[in-house]
Amino acid sequence: MNAIDPEIAGQLASELPREDFVRIVRTFEDDLGRLARLLEAAVAAGDEEGYRRSAHSLAGAAAAVGARRLEQVARIAMDHRNPADPRVLALQVRQEASEALAELSALAEHPPGAS
């Protein structure tokens, strides 16, 4: 499975003017950096509420651009019944975020339908 769902991200890239899609990718990049930092800080401080709130925002941002794998990891972190170790999940978030960004940037460079 790719980091990015081509149906969602591809549709955005083809339906929006290129500059709008590029702006979305940059905004997503900013969000990832900020939210991942908040998530890690909450893990380090044992702040369960802050951890889940950051995970919720990450899941929303990821879903909006079709970053499915990142969204799944974030949703696991949001679920208080899931026994997964928050430190491990925080690492996974970083990993998935970086892969999603790479694929989105490539899509911004070569949107579907562009020659």
Partner 1 sequence: MAASAARILIVEDTPTQAEVAGALLRTLGLETRVAETGAQAISIAQTWRPDAILMDLELPDFSGFETMRRLRTEGVEAAIIVVTAHGSVNHAVEAMREGAVDFIVKPYAKARLTVTLQNALEKRALATELREAKAQLGRDRFFGFIGASATMQAVYRTIESVAASKASVFITGESGTGKELAAEAVHRASPRKGRAFVTLNCGAIPRDLLESEIFGHVKGAFTGATDSRAGAAKLADGGTLFLDEIGEMPIEMQVKLLRFVQTGTFQPVGASRPEKVDVRIVSATNRDPWVEVETGRFREDLYYRLYVVPLHLPPLRERGEDSLLIARHFLAAFAREEGKRLRGFTWEVEQVLRAYSWPGNVRQLQNVVRNIVVLHDGDRVEMSMLPPMLLRGAPGQGAVVPDPVGAPPVEPEALPVVPPCVAKEPPVPMPAQPAPTFAPHQAAPLAPPPQNEAFQPLAEVEKRHILAALDRVAQDVPRAAALLGINPSTIYRKLQAWRSDASG
- Taking the complex as a whole, the smallest distance from the CB of residue 24 to partner 1 amounts, in Å, to 5
Contact stretch for partner 1 (CB under 8 A) within 13-21, 43-51, 81-89, 105-113: 13-21
Structure-block tokens of residue 3: 């980091």
Task: Please choose, out of 37-45, 54-62, 89-97, 106-114, the segment that lies near partner 1 by the rule CB under 8 A.
Answer: 54-62
How far are the Cα atoms of 63, 94, 108, 112 from residue 19, in angstroms, in the given order? Answer: 20, 26, 9, 14
Q: How far is the CB of 4 from partner 1 (least distance, A)?
A: 12
Write down the residue that tokens 């899941």 correspond to: 59
Q: Which is nearer to partner 1, 27 or 88 (CB)?
A: 27
Q: Which two three-digit tokens encode residue 38?
A: 């908040």
CA 73 centroid distance within chain? 9
In degrees and rounded to multiples of 5, residue 77 shows phi and psi of -65, -30
Cβ partners under 8 Å of residue 69, min gap 6: 1, 3, 96, 99, 100
Residue list 23-42, contact with partner 1 (CB under 8 A): 23-24, 27-28, 30-31
8 contacts partner 1 (rule: CB under 8 A): yes
Q: How far is the CB of 1 from partner 1 (least distance, A)?
A: 17
Residues that bind partner 1 (CB under 8 A): 8, 11-12, 15-17, 20-21, 23-24, 27-28, 30-31, 56-57, 59-61, 63-66
